[in-house]
């Protein structure tokens, strides 16, 4: 029920659940259409229910969640990180007999009353490892020899990506994927690298690295930022990825030779696809729990954040700590020169 990237983070646990309980019905409840997209074709999932409970009215949300009671679920897991009490209310309304969650800093008497069991979270380990802590509580164990975030693309989606590049006359070219956005809830947009910096980076790459194509990724919410970047770019060397859904986006990302972003859903998609030369600009929200799992990446350090990420953001249901001006200044402190040097060194 949390972000799209958190859905991908849950897939190794889903695979372990299937390995431990091959005959079980494993359903997923997701908030975002993009989360549902990423779980399509996943052989370890029976069904995906998707409902944006933030947009529908309270009565509609209660009716929807209560309708899940007819499924008579035995177990519900609030995967890490889902800190807000709303996630546990959803699990309670869905009516599973056993309802498990990690215990977060914002936990209160209501959270504890809505679940039947909790376990501690650990900021020194990835959320994927935190999720594996559920297994002993349900009579399971790690059975797989290795773990990875999983996206199962179809042959049609793979063909779409190849056809797109052929049409752009980019097939076989060096491509840098770039995501200018981030999550839009709470004050998470403040962790974005300034769009003027992305525009400056692309302008410099177009000029000094004409062998490198730049492909802009994102949804409708990134359209205005893409227009800013494209207005200053060489349009033969810089294009926008036109896709119908997140699965087509993933198929195109798979063709990139490098990928640049802050910690976003697409950062996790790039890690799941093992995109080489992954570059992450350090934002206040990046910490060990949400690093790109299973993929080597290069961190462009933020001189203001300077490794103090947990001072800025914890899973306590709240915003990134700091004023708007402070957070914008922190992301501004990462220079175009540093990012350009990192990209050109790797690619």
Tens digits of pLDDT across the chain (347 residues): 888 999 999 999 999 999 999 999 999 999 999 999 999 999 999 999 999 988 888 899 999 999 999 999 999 999 999 999 999 999 999 999 999 999 999 999 999 999 999 999 999 999 999 999 999 999 999 999 999 999 999 999 999 999 999 999 999 999 999 999 887 777 888 999 999 999 999 999 999 999 999 999 998 889 999 999 999 999 999 999 999 999 999 999 999 999 999 999 999 999 999 999 999 999 999 999 999 999 999 999 999 999 999 999 999 988 999 999 999 999 999 999 999 999 999 99
Confirm whether 299 is domain-assigned: yes
The count of domains in the chain is 2
Residue 291 belongs to domain spanning = 155-346
Q: Are residues 186 and 67 in the same domain?
A: no
Give yes or no for a contact between 58 and 183, defined as CB atoms under 8 angstroms apart. Answer: no
Is 149 inside any structural domain?
Answer: no
63 and 175 part of one domain: no
Q: Identify which of 341, 99, 305 has the alpha carbon closest to the alpha carbon of residue 205.
A: 341
What CATH number did the domain enclosing 209 receive? 3.40.50.2000
SS3 54: coil
Among the listed residues 88, 136, 139, the one whose alpha carbon sits nearest the alpha carbon of residue 116: 88
Task: Judge if 167 and 132 occupy the same domain.
Answer: no
Q: 160 and 31 in one domain?
A: no
Q: Which residue has the tokens 């999983």?
A: 150
CA distance 283 to 306: 10
Bridge partner list, 179? 217
The whole-angstrom separation of Cα 276 and Cα 259 is 8
Which secondary-structure segment (H or E) carries 59? helix 58-67
* Shared-domain flag, residues 124 and 262: no
CB 232 within 8 A of CB 263: no
């Amino acid at each position: 029920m949390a972000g799209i990237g958190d859905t991908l983070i849950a897939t190794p646990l889903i695979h372990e659940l299937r390995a431990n309980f091959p005959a079980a019905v494993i359903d997923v409840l997701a908030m975002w259409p993009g989360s549902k997209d990423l779980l399509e074709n996943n052989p370890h999932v029976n069904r995906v229910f998707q409902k944006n409970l933030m947009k529908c009215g309270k009565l509609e949300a209660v009716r929807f969640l209560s309708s899940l009671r007819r499924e008579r679920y035995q177990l519900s897991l609030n995967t890490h990180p889902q800190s807000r009490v709303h996630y546990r209310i959803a699990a309670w309304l869905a009516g599973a007999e056993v309802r498990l969650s990690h215990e977060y800093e914002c936990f209160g008497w209501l959270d504890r009353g809505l679940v039947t069991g909790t376990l501690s979270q650990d900021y020194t380990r990835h959320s994927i490892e935190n999720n594996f802590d559920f297994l002993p509580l349900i009579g399971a164990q790690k059975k797989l020899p290795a773990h990875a975030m999983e996206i199962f693309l179809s042959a049609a989606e793979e063909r779409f990506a190849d056809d797109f590049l052929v049409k752009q006359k980019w097939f076989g070219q060096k491509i840098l994927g770039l995501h200018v956005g981030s999550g839009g809830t709470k004050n998470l947009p403040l962790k974005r690298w300034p769009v003027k910096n992305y525009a400056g980076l692309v302008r410099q790459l177009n000029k000094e690295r004409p062998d490198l194509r730049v492909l802009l990724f994102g949804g409708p919410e990134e359209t205005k930022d893409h227009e800013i970047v494209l207005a200053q770019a060489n349009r033969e060397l810089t294009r926008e990825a036109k896709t119908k859904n997140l699965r087509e986006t993933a198929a195109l990302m798979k063709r990139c030779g490098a990928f640049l972003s802050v910690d976003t859903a697409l950062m996790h998609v790039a890690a799941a696809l093992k995109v080489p030369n992954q570059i992450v600009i350090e934002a206040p929200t990046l910490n060990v729990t949400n690093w790109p799992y299973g993929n080597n990446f290069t961190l462009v350090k933020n001189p203001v954040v300077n490794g103090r990420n947990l001072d800025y953001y914890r899973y306590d249901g709240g915003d990134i700590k700091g004023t708007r001006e402070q957070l914008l200044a922190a992301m501004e402190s990462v220079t175009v020169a540093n990012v350009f040097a990192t990209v050109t060194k790797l690619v």
